[in-house]
Each structure stands twice: as C-alpha cells, then as structure tokens.
Amino acid sequence: MNPVWLPAIGALLVLAFDLTGAPRNAAETGARSTALSGIRLGSVAALALAGVAITLGFDDRRFYGSLLELDTFGIFGLGYVVLAAGMVLSLSLTHFGMARSRPAEPIALLLFAWTGSMCALVTDHMLVMVIAFEVAWLPMIALVAIDSRRLSSSESSLKAFFAHAFASLVLAHGVAFLYGATGRLDFSALAGADLVMASTSLFYSVGLTLVLVGLIARAAIAPFHPWSPDVHEGAPSFVTTHVSTIAQATTFLVLVRVLHAAPGPLLAEPGSIGARIPELLTILGAVALVWGHAMALIQVGLRRLVGWLVVGQIGFLTLALVEVQGDGARALLLGLIASGVSIAGVMATLSSLSHHERACEHVGDLAGMMQESPVRAGLFGLFLLSLGGLPGTIGFLARFRTLASLEHGGHRVALLIGLGATVLALMAISRPLLAMLRPSDGSGGASRALSNEQFVLAICAVIVVYFGVMPIVGETNMAGQLSVWIDRAIESLRVAPPIR
C-alpha cells in the first residue's frame, strides 16, 4: 500500500475512537480530560506517521503506472512532512492541555491535511495535484479558526480561505489550458518531444503561466502574501507551525517539480513568456525579501513580527527557484529544512511563553526572559538568528548556498538584494533579542516549557547547530547523508520517466 494513505487511515481511526470511546471519567474534567484525550488520539496519529517513516525506510521502489509515483524526490518530500508533522503534533498537545478545543477534530484535520500534502508531493498528474491541494488546504483553513474565542483567529481563517480560493481558481484554469494544448495531464507530457510545436502555442504558454501563478499565490510569495502574517497572529502555535513548514514546503516542492518538468519554455528564445519566468521570480523574490523584512522592523506584535520574517524567508526560497535547474534546487531543499526547523523552534518558544492568556503577545512581553529562563531565551535567540542568517546556524548555510547559486547564474542584482535583505533581517530580530535582556516589570506571570515543547525545542536546536557548524568542523556522516539525499532527490527529477 502506498504510504501516503496512512495519515488518512489514521484520521478515520481517530474519529472512530472518539465516537465509540468510553464515556469520560467524572474525575477527569476540564483541561485534564482534554489533555489525556489528546495524548490518546495523538498516539494514533503518531503511529500513522511512524508507518509512513517505516515504509520509506524499507521500500525504495517507484510506483510507476499509477497516479502516485514514489520517486526519490517524493521520498524527500514525504520525509520532510513526517519530521515536521511530528513537531506539529507535539505542539498541539499544549493547545489541548489548555482545554481550548476537543482533540479529535483537530488531529483528524491535521492528518487529512498531511495526506493531501503527501499526495501533491508524489503525484505525476496535474488533476490529482489540484485535488490534493484542496485536501491539504481546506482542513488547514478550518484549523486556523479553531480558537473561536479570538476574533483574529476567525479573521485570519477568512483571509486564508480567499487566498486559497484565488490560487485554486488560477491553478485549475492553468491545468485546463495545458490539457487543451497537449491533450495530457501528466507532468512528463510537458517535457515530451512531441511538444516541440505545442510549447510555442498560446494555450501552452498561458496554461503554464497560470499554473505557476497559482502555485506562487499558494506559496504566499509577494504580492500574494498579506494573509500570512495574519495567520501567524490569529492561529494557534501548532497550526502556524503547520502552515509555515508543511503547507509552505509542499507548494515549493511542487513548483520545483513543475519547473523541472517543463524545460521547453524555460529554454525558449528570448522574449517569449517562458524565458521571462526567471526574471519574474527574481522580481517577486526581491519584493518579498525587502517587503517582509522591512515590515518586520516596525511590528509591535511578536507573532506578527515572526510572520513578516517568514515572508522574507519565502523571498529567499523564491530566489532559489531562479536557478532551479542548477544549484538553486539544492539550495531550496536545504532552505526549506532550515526555515522549517527555525520557525518550529520559534513557535515552540512562543507557545511555552503563552500558557496564560495573552502572556506573550508583544515584543515588550519578552522583558526579563533572560533572567527568568536563560535556556529558553538562548534557544529563542538561536532560532531567530538562524532566520536572520547568522554564521554558525543552518539558516546561514542555506542562505549562503542560495546566494552562491545566484552568483553562478549571473544574477548579480538579486545577489545584492539578498545581501541587503540579510542586514534588514538581522536588524528586525535585534528588537526581540534586546527585549529579552531588559529587566521585567514583574506584571506578567512566569510559565515553564512543557515536556512536549521541550521535545520540539531540543530537536530544532540540534538541527540548527549541528548542520550550522558543518562548514567549520567538516562534513560529518549525517551531514553528508543529507547532502546525498538532496542530490539524489534533484537528480531523480532529471531522469526521464518510463513510457506508459
């Protein structure tokens, strides 16, 4: 059985167990009852993720001849989803422990969203890709609005819905135009020899452009990004982590697959629509970099500041797409890992500081953190510095490889913009870093990181530091294995698929 179905099976089991489970003990009321139920049902979800990991470890076959093909690139994507999903699931226990919602529905929605992301990552069929994005995003939109007591949660969910509707509409029209030009819906048809004439047709050019615009809008690349900071402000920490890791990575990985599957228009004569795609990505990436980091400089809300930093990170990932058929693809995959673990670490820290209602909503609320909890303060600073690209962190390594790919491709203007945006990013994160050093006024209640939050913090810190110091101490076995894994994933996209 294809491993992508395991999360969906887990979701059905979670709903079934919640429906047929024994009545709650009268002694288990309120937060305790919800927390225990979350642990029980979360274990089912963890087993589903473990099943996916075990299947990937022992079965490296390619499922050709079906709509879901497990190639090496797909295996990389599934591995990323499993790792990020484990951290999201762990952070969700904090939400259930505060009795803010019943755990069955959120856990089931997460599992269905992960199923959609996995299907989008391994499919070779554009229609399946469209449906998979719907399965991945609709549960996510419902999760954004899960905290009904906060008006910002409902508002951000509505904005995310309209962004999703626009992206789906454009993407579906693009697939329809491509089908009209080629008569096929598989990605391999985009690079076939029979498309020498079709690639110059108007239908093909318009279709490919609409598909790329739909994916760009779904990835929250500027100017389609305004909903992203709102989600960071209104959604619970575990939902924000899901949006900034799994949902974002899925869209960028699909973009890589599409751009590799359609080399014809990218290598067309100068002046054509396809030849201008790198120029378009350069402009959008530069706008996201400057806009995101500049807005982060003036934010008062802490979560909104992080949301704008994420917009800036998306700009760097977009610049990596400019050289997607060169070194940019490898830089993008490493950048997804770097931004994912850094954002997950930041959100885990904010979650641990917000056990009390509105305990840590503004930058000023960080005052006294260095004295009260120096370990958490140090980890929080580490994750922010990784987002800013400070040397010694995995964020710097990913950013360096992205800029190096731009240098090799001759994109000097994009390189200079990337360097300038790094300065802006370090200036933006200096505000929360300095706020932690200020003494506390004693008005806020102290909170301690829970075990599940400590688990996420430990994993993220190890990844950020271990791979960050790799260029200094030399490449270790694990770091070398990651590089090999990324190289194999990219090379699998360049191997022509079998004739069906």
Residue 294 pLDDT:
92
Q: Where do the H-state alpha helices sit in 98-201? A: 104-122, 126-144, 151-182
Q: DSSP label at 192? A: -
Give the span between the Cα atoms of 421 and 221, in whole angstroms: 15
Give the span between the Cα atoms of 7 and 126, in whole angstroms: 22
Q: Which contiguous run of DSSP H or E holds residue 308?
A: helix 302-322
132-333-45-454 Cα dihedral, nearest 10 degrees = -150
Q: Which residues pair with 125 in a beta bridge?
A: 186
Give every CB contact of residue 83 below 8 A, 6+ residues apart in sequence.
Answer: none
Whole-model pTM: value is: 0.92
Q: Which of 51, 49, 50, 23 is nearest to 37 (CA)?
A: 23
**Which CB contacts under 8 angstroms, 24+ apart, belong to 268-274?**
268/199, 268/200, 272/200, 272/205, 273/205, 273/208, 273/209, 274/199, 274/205, 274/208
Q: Which of 380, 311, 354, 344 is nearest to 88 (CA)?
A: 344
Give the span between the Cα atoms of 486 and 331, in whole angstroms: 9
Give the span between the Cα atoms of 370 and 436, in whole angstroms: 6
Tell me whether residue 105 is exposed, middle or buried, using C-beta atoms within 10 angstroms of its C-beta: 0 to 12, 13 to 18, 19 or more: middle
Q: Tell me the two tokens of residue 406.
A: 């731009």
Q: Residues of 215-242 as b/e, b for ≥16 C-beta within 10 angstroms?
A: bbbbbbbbebbebbbbbbbbbbbbbbbb
**Which segments within 367-488 are labelled E, that is strand?**
none
* Residue 330 contacts residue 337 (beta carbons within 8 Å): no
104-122 and 126-144 helices, crossing angle to 10°: 160
Domain extents in the chain: 269-500
* Angle ∠(175,158,166) on CA atoms, nearest 5: 20
Q: Distances in Å between the alpha carbon of 433 and those of 271, 278, 380, 388?
A: 47, 36, 9, 12
* Residue 152 contacts residue 234 (beta carbons within 8 Å): yes
Per-residue pLDDT of the chain (500 residues; tens, 9 = 90+): 688 899 999 999 999 988 886 555 544 445 566 667 778 888 999 999 999 998 887 655 555 446 777 888 989 999 999 999 999 999 988 877 665 667 888 999 999 999 999 999 998 889 999 999 999 999 999 999 887 777 788 899 999 999 999 999 999 999 998 888 888 888 876 665 445 445 457 788 888 889 999 999 999 998 999 899 999 988 989 999 999 999 999 999 999 988 887 755 445 555 556 667 888 899 999 999 999 999 999 998 899 999 999 999 999 999 999 988 888 899 999 999 999 999 999 999 998 887 654 467 888 888 888 888 899 999 999 999 999 988 889 999 999 999 999 988 888 888 999 999 999 999 999 999 999 988 876 655 567 788 889 999 999 999 999 988 876 655 566 667 788 888 888 888 865 444 33
Q: Tell me the two tokens of residue 9.
A: 């099976």
Q: Which of 455, 124, 233 is nearest to 132 (CA)?
A: 124
Neighbour count for residue 494 (Cβ, 10 Å): 11
Q: Tell me the two tokens of residue 103.
A: 């755990």
Neighbour count for residue 194 (Cβ, 10 Å): 10
Q: Which of 114, 122, 351 is nearest to 245 (CA)?
A: 114
Query: Position 489: which residue type?
Result: A
Q: Which residues pair with 301 in a beta bridge?
A: 362
Place of tokens 């929605």: 109
